[in-house]
Amino acid sequence: MPSPPPVIAHVVARDGTRIAWRAHDATTSERASIVLTNGLSTTDEFWGPLIAGLAPEHRVVDWWYRGHGESESSPSNDYAIPTHVDDLRRVTEAARGGDTRAPVHVAFSMGVTVLLELYRARPDLVRAMVLIAGGADHPYASSALFRVPLARGAIRGGLRAVAPIVPALAPLARRLTSSKALFPLAQTLGAIGQAAPREEVERFFRAVGAMDLRAYWGTLRSLMNAHASDVLPRVRVPVLVIAPDRDVMALRADLEALRDAIPGAQWMHIPQTSHAMLLEAGDAIAARVRELTASLG
């Protein structure tokens, strides 16, 4: 018989926001528990292949950022990176239950900087890290654009100026993200690869259009202030960095910076993948994560 669907649980954040999380299978496994942390606006479908590949041997936990999925929007409009980090801390502590071992953390895209900040604050909660398609700092940190004087401030100022009108854009966002033209356009632009499953990606688009755009915009603005690269030389747990082949969302140089700065970091490059690599190569990623967790003893 198939396993029953996971039950959604909650932790209460410091500002009262209810943060949702789920545990999948293997509740009595002797293997390390695994916590999955999303990217900005990523839906839980992205984790489907990893959960299927890991849950038979591990207790796997996934969760939603505030204003995403099953988590509440912030009543205080707080979407700062340190706040997401504290939410992850609370989920990690709740999800481990009576297990005294720290879990292995798998982070995707924006989740990479959130996880690195958790390691800065609470290294005792991190047994190992898998960092997928995301850098330590804000997006495009290594690009020529951010070497231009005042460019970073101008971008942040633009995001701040647009924030008041973002809620009014919700109907337009819903129409855009439900359009059948969006999937082939995203493939043409290189945002997703040719192997990306259309049904799952279009479900993701619709979920983005339906989410609280204030939460999305507030988190995006905070992400542009992210800076966790100073943590990298201090990491003392096993780390696996997984890089897609072509990614217009996360620059290869930003991922190579993780590999080069973290002592002993392992590297995995998966050909013919894009930023949607969790959907495009989830089986291969799950197999490599199993190898890592097995090596921990």
CATH H-level superfamily of 8-295 = Alpha/Beta hydrolase fold, catalytic domain (3.40.50.1820)
pLDDT value of residue 43: 86
Closest CA to 274 of 172, 180, 197: 197
d(CA 270, CA 18) in angstroms, rounded, equals 36
Task: Compute the mean pLDDT over every residue in the chain, rounded to the nearest whole number.
Answer: 92
pLDDT in tens, 30-54: 678 999 999 999 888 899 999 999 9
Which phi and psi angles does 177 have, rounded to 5°?
-75, -15
Taking 70 as the threshold, does the pLDDT of residue 289 lie above it?
yes
pLDDT value of residue 145: 84
pLDDT value of residue 221: 95
Taking 90 as the threshold, does the pLDDT of residue 95 lie above it?
no
d(CA 46, CA 29) in angstroms, rounded, equals 24
Domain ranges of the chain: 8-295
pLDDT value of residue 181: 94
pLDDT value of residue 1: 44
d(CA 145, CA 130) in angstroms, rounded, equals 28
Q: Which residues contact 23 (CB under 8 A, 6 or more apart)?
A: 6, 7, 9, 59, 60, 61, 95
pLDDT value of residue 74: 97
Mean pLDDT of all residues in 169-186:
91
d(CA 112, CA 125) in angstroms, rounded, equals 15
Taking 90 as the threshold, does the pLDDT of residue 195 lie above it?
no
Taking 60 as the threshold, does the pLDDT of residue 184 lie above it?
yes
Whole-model pTM: value is 0.94
Residue 156 pLDDT grade (very low, low, confident, very high; cuts 50, 70, 90): confident
Residue 27 pLDDT grade (very low, low, confident, very high; cuts 50, 70, 90): low
Closest CA to 104 of 228, 243, 289: 289
Closest CA to 255 of 267, 273, 263: 267
Mean pLDDT of all residues in 164-181:
90
CA atoms within 13 A on the CB side of 230: 4
Closest CA to 284 of 271, 275, 274, 294: 271
Taking 90 as the threshold, does the pLDDT of residue 26 lie above it?
no
